[in-house]
Chain A
Amino acid sequence: MNLSAVWEYRIVIIQGFLVTLQLSGLAIICSTLFGFLSGFFLSGPSRILRYPFKIYVEVFRGSPLLLQLFMIFFGFPYLGIPITLFQTAIFVFTLYGGAYIAEIVRSGIESIPKGQFDAAASIGLTYPQTMITVILPQAMRVSLPPLVGFYIGLIKDTSIASVIGYMEVVKEGQAVINVTSRPFDVYIVISILYFIICYPLSLFVTWIERKTQTL
């Protein structure tokens, strides 16, 4: 292994890595917002609102991310709706991540005893008030470890966007391979970059799991 060839093109890889970070950050923010919203509706009292979200979560958790990317990126222009790579990535990661996060939020909310809802209702809190001030703070204790665990998965999954041509670190890495002909070295460097981001988060998950278990 000789990393000097890769070092020569470090700017390209770093640039790709910054794009990966940007995409990961946006994917996490958007899917968290949408996932929490869906999670509320999934565990909410309204049956009419619950079913569409149930179907959405089922379909997006029951199909592969790569195919979802293909469907939106190639399918939308086919329907006459122009869509850029960036829009595709954000749209798909929001829906894909939102579905998983909705399930995490739902199971967190359902772990709270019904008595908490009754108690909140008896002091006259409305449903949104109950959720925000009583249920969510308790549910987060259950949901936080799987939530951060899913963020790690989402960061790694942004690499799949390279398949439709998104110029993040894997795609930029392929460009570097084309000039240097050192595929192993480049992919090792890319792996290390992902590891640097994901490993601290894994440690955080372990730490927070231990902390919430003792409570």
Chain B
Amino acid sequence: MFFDWGTPVRSLSYLIVGAFITLGLTLAIFFASFFFGTVVGVVRHNKRHLVLYVLASAFVELIRNTPALVQIFLIYFGLPQFGILLSPVVAGVIALTINNSAYISEIVRAGIQAINKGQTEAAQSIGLSRFNIFLSVIYPQALRNIFPAMTNQFIMIIFGTTLLSTLDVRELTQRASILNSETFRTMEIFVFVLLMYYGITVLCSFVLRWINRRYFPQANAM
């Protein structure tokens, strides 16, 4: 038995395109679920609108207690039962956005709840509207608290996109599988791609930590 590490190296451009597709999917899912997660988290942070609160809670609990893979299958294979046909990429991005929105909403909710009540009262006393209180006083502070958790969630989304290979989305994992069935250099390819994923996660968490230091400098002073 000898290893031929040239096999993955010769297909490096093919794999790097896959890595960029993985990254693109991750960014799309991250920003979409950041938006929806914030909305759900805000609804859930107090019980002012009870109906919305119950609906949002049911959504979060249902999504967080079922596997992402089943959610992906439910949307891609399940919806055609009602005549709704989605492409693999669209179905996958929708499913993973729904999935991650639930997780991010919990992060956002905890972040909002950690902000001192005095901040809201101070903002009220200078006459800010409820929307402005949230947008310009509460949320920026919450964002600073939740940034490390969001970094973590970003990495989890990278790993989540590997599940889209089951729908034949040509991201990094699927490209590794295709390359494997073409060359049968199994161990070389999978170890190489595993290390590529490791490199991507290290790089991403490095960049996100830099953003954290750059834009939320006081978070480190505290």
Contact = CB atoms under 8 A, between A and B. Distances in A.
Decide whether A and B assemble into one complex: yes
Interface stretch (B30-38, B193-201, B212-220): B193-201
Q: How would you classify the secondary structure of chain B's contact residues: helix, strand, loop or mixed?
A: helix
B101 to A, nearest CB: 16
A177 interface: yes
Interface in A73-107: 74-75, 78-80
Contact of A156 (B68, B162, B166, B201): B68
Contacts of A159: 67, 69-70
Nearest to B60: A202
Contact of A79 (B74, B177, B187): B187
Nearest to A162: B69
B129 to A, nearest CB: 33
Interface stretch (A43-51, A64-72, A125-133, A136-144): A64-72
A59 to B, nearest CB: 6
Given A74-B186, A156-B67, A62 B201 contact: yes
A62 B204 CA distance: 11
Interface residues of A, number: 38
27 contacts: A58-B198, A62-B198, A63-B159, A63-B195, A64-B158, A65-B162, A66-B165, A66-B173, A67-B162, A67-B176, A70-B173, A70-B190, A71-B194, A74-B190, A152-B65, A156-B66, A156-B67, A159-B69, A160-B69, A170-B70, A182-B81, A184-B74, A187-B74, A188-B74, A191-B70, A194-B65, A198-B66
Interface of B: 1, 61-62, 64-71, 73-74, 77-82, 158-159, 162-163, 165-166, 173, 176-177, 180, 184, 186-187, 190-191, 193-195, 197-198, 201-202
